[in-house]
Structure 1
């Protein structure tokens, strides 16, 4: 048993307390919501446990303060995340955070479990935009966020270590929710996952994973990436990453490399992946060094195949994407408004489906210029069509799915970002004025943004409560979807040209194409 850390005394007794499986916890109360942060759900994955599947956490004596987020797992260098990880104290990377409007075993509230994105390279639950207070308070739900291993620690292919360790962390967090959430006022039989980008890809994987069966009954997948790796590709990328350190991608070699060095090696390979294009194909052109691996064990098949085979027919699914997924990424590349004809042609050739993909885009969008074509084909390949196909696979397998698209343009930066990738996240949480969202909403979020956020939060919490977000389920005939905009409407899926271009694509595991 671990001893609980000490905390300042609270003579008022106002701080909420619960008893979880590991021991007693004391949280805080913020704007009427009970908040518990930094609760370990697994032992720190360091030392002998590094690169291992998560191990159940030991309990603690006394009352453990749950007032601060746990330290983030080692991060890649994108968006300054590596520095945040290096500055963190401790190695309790695998922790959960809970917001509850009514803590207590009898409340029976719906539970919303968030899985953050970050390209499987970065991501931490302690970012201010992921604060669950407003969502819990206004929606009458229990909100859970958690950390999972990313980059080489969580998704690198390592000989002698289990694959998809980041996904196994997610399963362990969901098992913690199943075993403990009643004490926080949640109903373990009404657990809904929601996540965006790599978080949505993780949800797609969990839908296909036998180890996750029974841990959730509903899911909202926001901007599902279509990249799931074959073992051969993952092993080849791992070899390149290890070679940056003069090592082999084995458990023995990499266990001796400090996590920051290993993350930096992954960053180095990611920065020059285009040199590997003849071996790694499309993912080399997008610098994607890590993704879930279809290893035949933890993840037996791709999510699209699993759902088409009926793996998710008992799960109620909502799938969403934004209209202009690629726009923010084009900005980060330094190409916004500056895409050349040659760059557009290269993107069409690389990312269009099949041998005639480029021609299909030119004929389907005859008035589109280089910028639009560049963004359309990459939005479709990486996020829009994988998301739509996930819903269609769910329906093909006998399940039900709802679909929505965010078409409201972000007002920040003069409106140039459109309905970009990630815009839905602050709208769903209701956190429009903190962290990264300032880029999207400007210094003072408008009444229009607040109203749209309220509508999206209402849809997400309604789906968590009873499986109905407020619009009809998607079907192959009418293809009705909800468009979230200044005036939200239910209409036929608007990206019909893209849908037809991609209708025969299957999103297989990404292969190693050269030796």
Structure 2
């Protein structure tokens, strides 16, 4: 394996590089650069090229600038050609290998994130016989904002175009286009659920895994209001020409201002996120996203596809760590009442979370935000899918550096990349490889066979695989999300 691997794609040949027993092909375009007349257009197939194109470095990202220290290291790479895929494969050029395929969609609240993270390297999945692809998509307003005269949900169209690229090209990298599993975390997990509930995406994959999914499902009214507000802030008309005259960097600043919660109440942003959801993301446009995702799943869309869905135990509890000293002397009931106004529901929720309550007021408020935004959604999705094969899990191992089983902590265990840059910051200097073997092993089994090796929700409603729980906690709990059920009556 001394010669660099070369693979023929539909647009031309690409040259990757060997990394031991597998190869990486980075920055392959699945669409033309979304600039100029294509900035707010549906993705357009790339122009064919002659000769061999080097695919040795990550390509430009839709994320711009230095985002500072983030939980997942996701670098920004400058440039225009932001619509690309990265392919990691143990069998480049072996069209008869027909290996299962994993397609990863990054998170970042639909406004940030990058497929160039070292955590998303497919090396460990390659070791286990799985071809892995990470994809990019347009972010924020450029990807999801309402613009008169432009196609809706441009970021969603980017996902579809990338998945179509996989269907057309992955066999040349040793993959089987009939055995594609889509997966993603946070907003990427929300993307997975959006695609699972989208009739026009059903032919593009056979299974789905959603880690800590954050759905957007932005209403038509909210999408139009936010876009009109952004146009006003930019001083332009809310049209393709108007928004096209505003540089990306300026749009990025203004989209945050347009979506900001009014007032100085520090809990206003949390309450807005709980009540209204993410401001930029897939919108219910009556076309690609015809109805809210939960309703689509309930109607049976995607019911033939197995789904694994789960969260960490304390996704957002960390956000109140700096305030726990001030909050510890304040009664939790009235403070929680500012987020959860129904008194009966609030009492039932506090009773079901007595163990968290003993950790203090900040821990309860953070857990409630976690439950309202993430964990209650697991139960809603699993119940909505009825008899469809759905498997729930929890990641319960607490970070030795950040206290909680926090947002993003499970990702390096899922990818089995505990030695990657940035992992020690959230998982400590000696994260348990045994836990990575369990989480990653379940992912491999699911991508390969459509079964993660624990009972399905439909047969045992509430049943949940627990990864990394304390010794007294079973590996499989009969009702692993019982503590959020009080919220489901809302």
SS in 1 for 2:458: coil
> What's 1:458 paired with?
441
Mean CA deviation greater in 462-471 or 352-361: 352-361
Distance (Å, rounded) in 1 between the aligned partners of 2:175 and 2:318:
36
- How far does residue 424 in structure 1 lie from its aligned partner after superposition? 1.1
> What's 2:316 paired with?
326
SS in 2 for 1:291: coil
SS in 1 for 2:60: coil
Quick check: 1:117 aligned with 2:107?
Answer: yes
Distance (Å, rounded) in 1 between the aligned partners of 2:164 and 2:312:
31
- How far does residue 191 in structure 1 lie from its aligned partner after superposition? 0.2
> What's 2:226 paired with?
237
Quick check: 1:294 aligned with 2:251?
Answer: no
- How far does residue 25 in structure 1 lie from its aligned partner after superposition? 0.7
| 8 A contact 1:348–1:357 mirrored in 2 | no
Distance (Å, rounded) in 2 between the aligned partners of 1:124 and 1:364:
38
Q: Deviations over 1:303-358 (max 9, x none)?
A: 11111100011111111111111123435xx4355546779557633543857433
CA, structure 1 residues 235+430, in 2 after alignment: closer, same or farther (shift >3 Å)?
Answer: same
CA, structure 1 residues 328+280, in 2 after alignment: closer, same or farther (shift >3 Å)?
Answer: closer
| Structure 1 counterpart of 2:488, from 492, 503, 506 | 503
How many residues end up aligned between the 2 structures?
Answer: 480
> What's 1:392 paired with?
383
- How far does residue 53 in structure 1 lie from its aligned partner after superposition? 1.1
Q: TM-score, normalised to structure 2's length?
A: 0.90
Quick check: 1:475 aligned with 2:458?
Answer: yes
Structure 2 residues not aligned, in runs of 5+:
none
- How far does residue 269 in structure 1 lie from its aligned partner after superposition? 3.7
- How far does residue 247 in structure 1 lie from its aligned partner after superposition? 2.6
| 8 A contact 2:88–2:126 mirrored in 1 | yes
CA, structure 1 residues 347+182, in 2 after alignment: closer, same or farther (shift >3 Å)?
Answer: farther
Quick check: 1:445 aligned with 2:434?
Answer: no
- How far does residue 41 in structure 1 lie from its aligned partner after superposition? 0.2
CA, structure 1 residues 379+86, in 2 after alignment: closer, same or farther (shift >3 Å)?
Answer: closer
| 8 A contact 1:321–1:404 mirrored in 2 | yes
> What's 1:358 paired with?
346
> What's 1:249 paired with?
238
- How far does residue 143 in structure 1 lie from its aligned partner after superposition? 0.5
| 8 A contact 1:75–1:123 mirrored in 2 | no
Map 1:67-466 → 2, pairs under 5 A: 67-75=56-64, 78-79=67-68, 88-103=77-92, 104-137=94-127, 139-270=128-259, 272-273=261-262, 282-283=272-273, 288-331=278-321, 334-335=322-323, 338-339=326-327, 348-349=336-337, 351-352=339-340, 356-365=344-353, 368=357, 369-394=360-385, 396=386, 398-413=387-402, 416=403, 418-442=404-428, 444-446=429-431, 449-466=432-449
CA, structure 1 residues 281+329, in 2 after alignment: closer, same or farther (shift >3 Å)?
Answer: closer
| 8 A contact 2:317–2:369 mirrored in 1 | no
Distance (Å, rounded) in 2 between the aligned partners of 1:168 and 1:498:
34
| 8 A contact 1:193–1:218 mirrored in 2 | yes
Distance (Å, rounded) in 2 between the aligned partners of 1:316 and 1:120:
25
- How far does residue 234 in structure 1 lie from its aligned partner after superposition? 1.6
SS in 2 for 1:92: coil
CA, structure 1 residues 482+158, in 2 after alignment: closer, same or farther (shift >3 Å)?
Answer: same
- How far does residue 159 in structure 1 lie from its aligned partner after superposition? 2.3
Distance (Å, rounded) in 2 between the aligned partners of 1:407 and 1:471:
17
Structure 1 residues not aligned, in runs of 5+:
1-11, 506-515
CA, structure 1 residues 279+114, in 2 after alignment: closer, same or farther (shift >3 Å)?
Answer: closer
Distance (Å, rounded) in 1 between the aligned partners of 2:76 and 2:110:
20
CA, structure 1 residues 450+336, in 2 after alignment: closer, same or farther (shift >3 Å)?
Answer: farther
SS in 2 for 1:213: helix
Q: Deviations over 1:468-503 (max 9, x none)?
A: 11111113745221100166711212331312x133
| 8 A contact 1:75–1:150 mirrored in 2 | no
> What's 2:55 paired with?
66
CA, structure 1 residues 315+284, in 2 after alignment: closer, same or farther (shift >3 Å)?
Answer: closer
Distance (Å, rounded) in 2 between the aligned partners of 1:61 and 1:80:
40
- How far does residue 145 in structure 1 lie from its aligned partner after superposition? 0.2
| 8 A contact 1:36–1:99 mirrored in 2 | yes
Q: Deviations over 1:20-72 (max 9, x none)?
A: 11111110001221110000001111100111111111211110100011100
| 8 A contact 2:297–2:303 mirrored in 1 | yes
Q: Deviations over 1:80-105 (max 9, x none)?
A: 68xx9997342110000011112210
| 8 A contact 2:202–2:302 mirrored in 1 | no
Q: TM-score, normalised to structure 1's length?
A: 0.86
